[in-house]
């Protein structure tokens, strides 16, 4: 008797299975928030010092013209600028008289004898000038102090002091203890403590804003993931011992708030080693908080523009407030599990404020969207095309691939090869910024900064997904009991089978073994790439459509799965829930408007 062929059914994810995966992701996210800030110092002193250290993004390279030029609240700086007068020198030299002055943004000439530039001199600066301007400090303290003063319990007794001590174009090795540049934050702390004592107040270091990694990522210094983590761990320990304890004399150590390397500085050849090491630090180092990536905000081709620095600074202030005032835990949007089944990839994310949304990021000052949302899949044979991407279950993303990947399948987001280090995935955080986007013609702002859709509106403080690379976990079990697969409309629905869902694991205390931080392996030898002179034009750009009701960006590829995306509008003709088993495909056809 001739054996009959069994009709092929594409292995796919059922909606109930997606819902269970999303519920598990939400549980883990709740665990992150519940951990809270149990050990980091709180702002309990009369003068609470916030020190920025790192390379160019910590010191506001090209952040001109300054925008935050009017005094807000009661925060302070040392002398006439948050910057020292010699950005490249081993000593932090105060601009003007070493005394506490109201915190405002300034523009400092970048050289051995830097001076604060007048507005007319700033307006005449040539394109690409590395003058030090607006930093993340002004935006961060504006948001943070504003939230403190608005709390029902009234004004906080202490004040904030902001100092930028970083040096552009330096590796973590050059900024570490034992190198001359490490003396810059030490000297800034010494001056601030002396001034606090002269004012009759107490002094402490409440936060370190560490913005570095770009120079290592492009090949100057270590590009090894574990090596960079070890250097970062040592730098934190040295900063706490030498400066926090050695100068401030405090017992509680300050929290560290960081960004993630992105944009033109991402390197696929090293498997995103530095951005991934930065996520390792956020999981493994005490009191270490990654605010998020820098790629979504406006920039000048690597360095941010003044709105970009203040926008990112507001994000820093938001997270600082949550951690140091409200005592909450914090992790950025990042994947916790990524699985492969046939031609589908399901990725579960930690999402501070669901639902996830695809929106344009800014490449320089151009709102940019990708048809695949910034996702890329590769295997041993090369590129695997992403046909469509959709948010499902509010905290997960479902990708449809053009073929089933073979061995060594890897998922990338915000990679360099296809997306220039940018991506489109964010959450829906409703937090209101305390500053608006500004454009002043003739001030020195580049013409591209004239963006009518942004001008005069608060910076959106959504939390964006960090860049990542992770191996895809094979997930062959196709269905939950009682549900048929979401087969294509021209294919029959298969019988439901039991799925072996993993036992609910204890919430992670370290980076997940599956997800963005796999086991650290020695990277292959690579030739260091030089940073691009300008931001590359991202491939796959499409014209944006707008869902006016929700204000979210869509592309034709995403519309393929709009019916699965969140939030899901109730279709007028479809039943509110799908019938079980064999009626599932018919329900899908009705839901998507098919016959």
pLDDT digit string (tens) for 534-592? 333 333 322 222 232 333 333 333 333 433 333 333 333 333 333 343 343 443 344 33
In a shared domain, residues 263 and 342 = no
In a shared domain, residues 311 and 373 = no
| End-to-end CA, the chain | 38
Residues spanned by the domain of 235: 47-325
Whether 403 is covered by a domain: the verdict is: yes
Report the number of distinct structural domains present in the chain: 2
| Listed residue (330, 312, 333) closest to 322, CA to CA | 330
In the block, which residue shows the tokens 């939390």? 463
In a shared domain, residues 313 and 216 = yes
In a shared domain, residues 312 and 394 = no
Q: What is the pLDDT of residue 481?
A: 37
Pairing of strands 432-436, 386-392: unpaired
Q: What is the pLDDT of residue 113?
A: 80
Name the phi and psi angles at 293, rounded to 5: -80, 165
Helix axes 273-284, 225-239, angle to 10 degrees: 50
Whether 5 is covered by a domain: the verdict is: no
Is 0.85 surpassed by the pTM of this model?
A: no
In a shared domain, residues 320 and 347 = no
Contact, 564 vs 399, CB < 8 A?
no
Counting as low any pLDDT under 70, the low residues of the chain are: 1-10, 154-155, 477-595
Domain boundary among 261, 290, 325: 325
Q: What is the pLDDT of residue 154?
A: 64
Whether 512 is covered by a domain: the verdict is: no
Reading the block at residue 162, the tokens are 């902001």
Domain boundary among 325, 348, 375: 325
Q: What is the pLDDT of residue 157?
A: 73
Domain boundary among 302, 325, 348: 325
In a shared domain, residues 299 and 437 = no
């Amino acid at each position: 008797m001739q054996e009959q062929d069994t009709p092929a059914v594409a292995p796919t994810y059922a909606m109930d299975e997606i819902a269970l995966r999303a519920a598990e992701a939400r549980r883990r996210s709740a665990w992150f928030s519940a951990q809270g800030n149990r050990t980091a110092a709180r702002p309990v002193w009369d003068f609470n010092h916030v020190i920025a250290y790192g390379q160019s993004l910590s010191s506001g390279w090209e952040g001109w013209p300054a925008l935050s030029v009017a005094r807000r609240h009661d925060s302070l700086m040392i002398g006439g600028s948050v910057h020292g007068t010699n950005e490249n020198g081993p000593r932090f030299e105060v601009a003007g008289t070493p005394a506490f002055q109201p915190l405002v943004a300034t523009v400092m000439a970048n050289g051995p004898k830097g001076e604060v530039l007048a507005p007319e001199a700033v307006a005449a600066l040539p394109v690409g000038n590395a003058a030090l301007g607006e930093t993340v400090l002004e935006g961060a303290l504006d948001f943070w102090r504003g939230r403190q003063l608005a709390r029902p319990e009234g004004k906080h007794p202490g004040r904030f002091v902001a100092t930028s001590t970083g040096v552009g174009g330096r590796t973590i090795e050059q900024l570490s203890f034992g190198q001359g540049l490490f003396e810059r934050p030490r000297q800034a702390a010494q001056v601030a403590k002396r001034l606090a004592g002269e004012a009759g107040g107490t002094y402490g270091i409440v936060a370190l804003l560490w913005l570095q990694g770009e120079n290592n990522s492009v090949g100057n210094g270590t590009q090894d993931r574990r090596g960079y983590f070890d250097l970062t761990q040592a730098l934190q320990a040295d900063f706490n011992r030498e400066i926090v304890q050695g100068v401030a004399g405090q017992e509680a150590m300050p929290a560290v708030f960081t960004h993630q390397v992105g944009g033109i500085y991402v390197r696929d050849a090293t498997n995103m080693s530095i951005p991934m090491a930065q996520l390792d630090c956020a999981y493994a180092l005490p009191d270490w908080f990654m605010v998020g990536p820098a790629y979504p905000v406006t920039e000048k081709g690597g360095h941010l523009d003044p709105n970009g620095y203040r926008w990112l600074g507001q994000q820093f202030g938001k997270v600082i407030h949550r951690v140091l005032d409200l005592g909450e835990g914090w992790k950025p949007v990042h994947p916790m599990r990524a699985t492969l089944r046939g031609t589908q990839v399901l990725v579960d994310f930690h999402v501070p404020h669901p639902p996830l949304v695809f929106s344009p990021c800014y490449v320089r000052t151009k709102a940019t969207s990708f048809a695949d949302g910034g996702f890329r899949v590769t295997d041993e044979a090369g590129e695997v095309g992403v046909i469509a991407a959709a948010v499902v279950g509010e905290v997960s993303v479902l990708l449809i691939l053009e073929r089933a990947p073979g061995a060594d399948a890897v998922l990338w987001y915000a990679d360099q090869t296809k997306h220039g280090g940018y991506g489109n995935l964010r959450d829906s955080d409703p937090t209101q910024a305390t500053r608006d986007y500004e454009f002043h013609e003739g001030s020195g702002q580049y013409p591209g900064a004239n963006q009518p859709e942004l001008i005069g509106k608060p910076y959106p403080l959504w939390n964006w997904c960090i860049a990542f690379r992770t191996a895809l976990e094979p997930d062959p079990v196709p269905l939950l009991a009682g549900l048929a697969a979401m087969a294509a409309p021209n294919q029959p629905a298969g019988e439901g089978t039991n799925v072996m869902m993993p036992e609910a694991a204890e919430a992670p205390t370290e980076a997940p073994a599956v997800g963005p931080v796999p086991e650290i392996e020695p990277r292959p030898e690579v030739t260091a790439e030089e940073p691009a002179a300008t931001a590359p034009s991202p491939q796959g750009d499409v014209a944006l459509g707008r869902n006016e009701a929700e204000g979210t960006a869509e592309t034709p590829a995403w519309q393929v799965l709009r019916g699965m995306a969140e939030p899901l509008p109730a279709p007028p003709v479809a039943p509110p829930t799908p019938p079980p088993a064999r009626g599932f495909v018919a329900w899908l056809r009705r839901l998507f408007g098919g016959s």
